[in-house]
Amino acid sequence: IDDMPVESILLALNNCALELLDRVSLQDWVYALNDFESQRLNPLAWYPKKGSHSTLDDGTIISDIFLAVNRCRHTITTASSPTANFNLLASLPSGISAFYYLREAIKQWVISEIASFSIDASLRTARIVKFVTMISVCHDEMAIYGIEKLELFKDKFLARPYKPQMAIPSFVERAVVSALIAPESRAFTKAWNDAAKVIGKPADSIQTLLSHKPAKNSQAVGSANRDSKSIGLLPCIGWILESILEIEYNVPDRLFSSQLILNFEKRTLIYELIQSFKRWPLVCPRTGVESTVDMKFLLSRHMLPTNPEFRFIKEFAAKENMKYRSPSSSHNNMAAQNRKVFPRLIHAEQEKIKRDSREREKLEREARDRQLGMQRRINEEARVKEKMMKEPPANPTTSTAIRSKSTNSPSSNNAVSNMLSKFPTAKPSLAINLINSAITIEHSRTKRDHVFKIISEEGGQYLLQAIDRQDMLSWVKAITDAAKEGAARRFTVLVEDARKEMVGQISNRSSNSAVERSNMDVRVLSKERSSIFGVELSTLMKCENGDYSLPVIVEKCLQEVEERGLYEVGIYRISGMASAIEQLRRSFNDDCESVDLSSERWGDINAISGVLKQWLRELPEPVLTFELYNDFIAAAAIEDYDTRLIEIKNLVVKLPTPNYILLKRLIEHLEMITDYEDVNHMYASNLAIVFGPTLIRPPSGPLCFATSMANLGQQQAIVKNLILQYHWIFDVEKEVEQDDPQ
């Protein structure tokens, strides 16, 4: 960079931005605009969480629109996960988000040039002067092509006032400025103060340094007649996003005179702003400047420079600042050398952080108050309803007399009709199984308000719309409570049925003769041999020659999923129809060998995956045995990654032979599922959530459920490590080498 002309560097960086501009379509802007509009539903999205900023001057990061978009969160409120959120930048189209990554690449490159450990203070000062000159060149050119160059501003308006001479910032200018004001660059106070002396302006802010006008014969500029040439700098896309957000938040959606008339001027403003940005290279083309520098490596994320951690840069800068301090210099000179860089920017940023923190606390307090008020109303309504239901019925004779005297009373007729309305007189046209269902509030459905979705355990999805938000929340709460109550009742019924069946079997066996008991034992034994659900692995997998082979149900299900389920979105996460799973279960129990999963009868691949999960759940002992449960949980808690994997591998080797064979084939299958994770969206972590509680669970006992819930994260971590390190844990490469010595 020391021998590169400023115009060549600017042109090379600008060419990278122009290359990204060609990739952005109008549809990308529509998607981005939709994301920005959805952010208006959550007022807390743009405010950073408390404690996410450094309170020290040295570590204060000066924020801009790119940092705000990166920190902004899309919040999704659901009944099962009320705090789920994701990054706004990740939701933007790739064509627009690519500008953010290019800006980060330029920023890291500039920081690496300034904070390099291989240069001395004088060369560092020269580089700072060159970058400041670069910003000055950008500022001068964009001032020539001012804001009036955009057709939008000739006869339209923005929400914010602007000066006619206001310049549009260029993309390269803002990227370089973000690097110069970064904490890594500000740490070298000696070099910055020396650069300020060379420029002749104090380093209080960027604006004071921009008034620097380099000499025409300056080597840093590298061109004696740059004023007659234009680089054709592209405006900063961050400035476009700022303008769109100002229009979104300040220009009303409907006209003030009538709330029934849409304000199409708002959409026109945004559209013309985007079109002006796309046509900018045609309005302000470059003339007579050619670049001899190639900066295309900044477009590749794999070739970016890796900067040291900030604490190492800070230590190196402190040593350099002390090294070049003259012992005989006066107190004023020493103070000038140690003067902090950009104190105004740092102070303004810290004040902004305080304001944002106070505003966020205010909004959170208001949201809590609204939630508490809503909860109080719901509880009050529930108490009134409960009180009405607990009132004792009236005396029959008295009620008959009253009814005979007030047959013509309209109030009594209304009361009777209200009571009768609580009891349906006809069969429902549709019944939804709420047991183990998931209820989600659909914020993304902008066409209809107050919509929520029910996903049943069979995989069915139902969209329901409420009258208002309070009614929707009441329905969500009622459905959630009903689902929990139904699950508890079903569990109680199953336990009671099993107890009655066991008592009946014991009484029948005690009343029969010895011959009848022996015949019954033979019949039960034959039935157990034909059944494959709830059977010990050692019994089910043992062959006549004493070896072990995979159960037929496992081999058939895995093979069928590998043939037509690898591209299925949500495979193993989405459950099939309960009726289809039950039919397939009976077919496997009747004659496992004759089941043909490729037939049209079993066309639902989720039913096949569901019956496999059911078979694994009903094993008397999980694949990762009860004996090794505590050892596996302890291994998952080991912090060191290598030690944790070695311990897991040692425990896998200790498994019984049938368990090891089944586990290896199953993990091989799950590892194959992750090969297509870009299509099926089933990553190793998702598969671990599904199979964690199935493959490893605590022994039966009064604290079984509590133990399983407490160790749920460790159970999932075990399965995730098995999938990610399948080849190493099961020594797949060694087996291949033994099978094929060549």
Alpha carbon 528 to its chain centroid, in Å, reads 47
Query: Measured between alpha carbons, how far is residue 393 from residues 388, 389, 408, 429, 617 in Å?
Result: 11, 10, 22, 32, 48
Query: What's the token pair of residue 384?
Result: 């009134």
Question: Residue 18 pLDDT > 80, yes or no?
Answer: yes
Q: What's the rounded Cα separation, in Å, for the pair 508 and 519? A: 13
Q: What's the rounded Cα separation, in Å, for the pair 654 and 663? A: 12
Question: Residue 549 pLDDT > 70, yes or no?
Answer: yes
Residue 458 lies in a domain: no
**Cβ count near 348 (within 10 Å):** 13
Q: Using the 3D structure, point to which of 310, 329, 357 is the last residue of a domain.
A: 357
**Cβ count near 652 (within 10 Å):** 20
Q: Residue 465: enclosing H or E segment and its boundaries?
A: strand 461-465
* C-alpha distance across the termini of the chain, in Å: 52
As a whole number, mean pLDDT of residues 598-602 equals 85
Confidence of residue 666 (pLDDT cuts 50, 70, 90): very high
Nearest Cα to 727, choosing from 671, 683, 657?
671
As a whole number, mean pLDDT of residues 585-607 equals 87
As a whole number, mean pLDDT of residues 455-461 equals 72
Residue 63 lies in a domain: yes
Q: Alpha helix locations (H) across 469-541?
A: 469-511, 514-530, 537-541
> Residue holding tokens 């002749």?
200
pLDDT at 444: 63
As a whole number, mean pLDDT of residues 95-118 equals 89
Residue 476 lies in a domain: no
As a whole number, mean pLDDT of residues 148-160 equals 45
CB 194 within 8 A of CB 125: yes
CB 29 within 8 A of CB 274: yes
pLDDT at 671: 92
Amino acid at 109: W
Question: Across 312-326, 380-394, 482-496, 679-693, which has the greatest mean pLDDT?
Answer: 679-693
Any residues with CB less than 8 A from the CB of 245 and at least 6 apart, and which? 36
pLDDT at 268: 84
Question: Residue 541 pLDDT > 90, yes or no?
Answer: no
pLDDT at 19: 87
pLDDT at 612: 92
Confidence of residue 670 (pLDDT cuts 50, 70, 90): very high
Handedness of CA 156, 162, 164, 165 (dihedral sign): negative
Question: What is the span of the domain harbouring residue 215?
Answer: 6-357
Any residues with CB less than 8 A from the CB of 395 and at least 6 apart, and which? none
Quote the number of domains for the chain: 2
**Is this prediction's pTM over 0.85?**
no
707 - beta bridge partners? none
Angle, CA 491 vertex, CA 485 and CA 497 arms, to 5°: 135
Q: What is the pLDDT of residues 221-277, one digit of tens each?
A: 333 344 445 677 888 888 888 888 888 888 877 776 666 777 788 888 888 888 888
CB 711 within 8 A of CB 739: no
Query: Measured between alpha carbons, how far is residue 705 from residues 32, 477, 689, 701 in Å?
Result: 45, 25, 16, 8
Q: Alpha helix locations (H) across 284-435?
A: 310-323, 331-337, 343-390, 396-405, 410-421
Query: What's the token pair of residue 289?
Result: 């400047």
Confidence of residue 737 (pLDDT cuts 50, 70, 90): low
Question: Residue 400 pLDDT > 60, yes or no?
Answer: no
Amino acid at 157: F
Q: What's the rounded Cα separation, in Å, for the pair 276 and 283? A: 9
Residue 536 or residue 737, greater confidence: 536
CB 147 within 8 A of CB 168: yes
254 - beta bridge partners? 262
Q: What's the rounded Cα separation, in Å, for the pair 15 and 471? A: 55
CB 538 within 8 A of CB 623: no
pLDDT at 45: 75
pLDDT at 22: 84
As a whole number, mean pLDDT of residues 358-372 equals 83
86 - beta bridge partners? 74
Residue 275 lies in a domain: yes
522 - beta bridge partners? none
Question: Residue 150 pLDDT > 80, yes or no?
Answer: no
Question: Residue 507 pLDDT > 50, yes or no?
Answer: no
pLDDT at 390: 63
Q: Using the 3D structure, point to which of 357, 392, 411 is the last residue of a domain.
A: 357
Query: What's the token pair of residue 600?
Result: 């049209």
Q: What is the DSSP string of 599-624?
A: SGGG--HHHHHHHHHHHHHT-SS-SS
As a whole number, mean pLDDT of residues 423-430 equals 56
pLDDT at 163: 44
Question: Residue 24 pLDDT > 60, yes or no?
Answer: yes
CB 545 within 8 A of CB 652: no
CATH number at residue 682: 1.10.555.10
**How much helix, strand and coil, in percent to the nearest 5, is found in the chain?**
60, 5, 35
As a whole number, mean pLDDT of residues 333-350 equals 73
Question: Residue 522 pLDDT > 50, yes or no?
Answer: no
Tell me which of 197-201, 284-288, 651-655 is least confident: 284-288
pLDDT at 244: 86
Question: Residue 503 pLDDT > 70, yes or no?
Answer: no
Q: Using the 3D structure, point to which of 299, 333, 357 is the last residue of a domain.
A: 357
Q: What's the rounded Cα separation, in Å, for the pair 87 and 327? A: 51
Query: Measured between alpha carbons, how far is residue 213 from residues 4, 196, 256 in Å?
Result: 19, 13, 49
Confidence of residue 176 (pLDDT cuts 50, 70, 90): very high
Any residues with CB less than 8 A from the CB of 134 and at least 6 apart, and which? 6, 9, 10, 172, 176
Handedness of CA 8, 11, 13, 19 (dihedral sign): negative
Q: What is the pLDDT of residues 607-663, one digit of tens each?
A: 999 999 999 998 989 999 999 999 999 999 898 888 999 999 999 999 999 999 999
Question: Helix 552-564 crosses helix 605-617 at what angle (to 10 degrees)?
Answer: 150
Residue 642 lies in a domain: yes
How many CA atoms lie within 13 Å of 377's alpha carbon, on the beta-carbon side? 9
Tell me which of 53-67, 481-495, 633-647, 670-684 is least confident: 481-495
Handedness of CA 301, 302, 307, 309 (dihedral sign): positive
Q: What's the rounded Cα separation, in Å, for the pair 339 and 181? A: 15
Any residues with CB less than 8 A from the CB of 326 and at least 6 apart, and which? 333
As a whole number, mean pLDDT of residues 294-314 equals 79
Residue 81 or residue 530, greater confidence: 530
Q: What is the pLDDT of residues 472-493, one digit of tens each?
A: 888 988 988 888 887 777 666 5
Residue 434 lies in a domain: no
Residue 376 lies in a domain: no
Amino acid at 603: G
CB 573 within 8 A of CB 690: yes
As a whole number, mean pLDDT of residues 710-718 equals 88
Residue 606 lies in a domain: yes
Amino acid at 269: L
465 - beta bridge partners? 451
Question: Residue 395 pLDDT > 60, yes or no?
Answer: no
Angle, CA 426 vertex, CA 423 and CA 429 arms, to 5°: 115
